[in-house]
Amino acid sequence: MSNRSYSFTHAITRKPGKSAVDGLRAVDTGTPDLDTFLSHHADYIAALKATGAVVTELEALEDFPDSVFVEDTALCLQEGAVVLRPGAPTRLKEAEAMAPTLRELYDEVLTIEGPGHIEGGDILTTETEILVGTSARTDDAGIKELAGLVAQWGYKVRKLNTPEGVLHFKTDCSLLDENTILSTRRLADAGCFEGYNVILVADGEEACANTIRFNEKVIMPAGFPKTEQAVREAGYDVVTVGNSEAAKLDGGMSCLSLRFSPIKK
């Protein structure tokens, strides 16, 4: 499939559980309202389905408050999936729980064995390379092991340094097409995106840098009108989804799904 970095047939999501109110957060901006979270999550799934995606909707894992953020558990490529090794100790078992679902959809599922750590929120896959930012959750050893695994499928991994104070690399960026990245100024100024076109989020709207391109739609968190307008004016078809409650747990649009087109043998 062309445009393999944003043309997808499948997505996996997981329902937020009652325990989500106890999820990890870098800064406490309030406790998520579960009913609102569930409503936003339903809208998010509807937006994915509107692109033509087949969405696997997994039930909540109450023992793991952060398990709604499924992206951190795996890297899903066309040729296979890699079960990751989250850097937050409380999240390690989430990756193990995702593995059986991946094996139903892929012929080949590999696993990061460690001792390093790597989370999906630090991984941005483009048409030509896989960009991985170091963070408190992703270290050099985890990146090195990932690079070794995906090399067999022809992927090149490039390690980048996420600016201090940014939780995940993709907290501050997202892919809009094969040549274009939406980014905060602080991440773009770090020199991560040489060779790419960059659209900067509006000042004060940094929280919307984490969007997703899924087929012909750009799914963006609601409430960031200047950046939304800029992305629309650049020619993209934008859909907005409420994200206020996930944001209280440092979550954005990409965090809530795994997106892929598995090639079956």
Active-site positions read 168, 255
Torsion 90-96-101-107 (CA) sign: positive
Give me the phi and psi of 168, to 5 degrees please: -125, 150
Measured CA to CA, the distance from residue 58 to residue 235 in angstroms comes to 34
Torsion 72-76-77-81 (CA) sign: positive
Dihedral class, residue 12 (left if φ above 0, else alpha if ψ from -120 to 50, else beta): beta
Q: Which helix (H) or strand (E) holds 241?
A: strand 237-241
Neighbours of 203 (CB within 10 A): 10
Measured CA to CA, the distance from residue 218 to residue 182 in angstroms comes to 11
Give me the phi and psi of 252, to 5 degrees please: -130, -165
Residue 176 near residue 199 (C-beta atoms within 8 A)? yes
Measured CA to CA, the distance from residue 186 to residue 202 in angstroms comes to 12
Measured CA to CA, the distance from residue 186 to residue 35 in angstroms comes to 34
Give me the phi and psi of 223, to 5 degrees please: 100, 15
Measured CA to CA, the distance from residue 70 to residue 166 in angstroms comes to 19
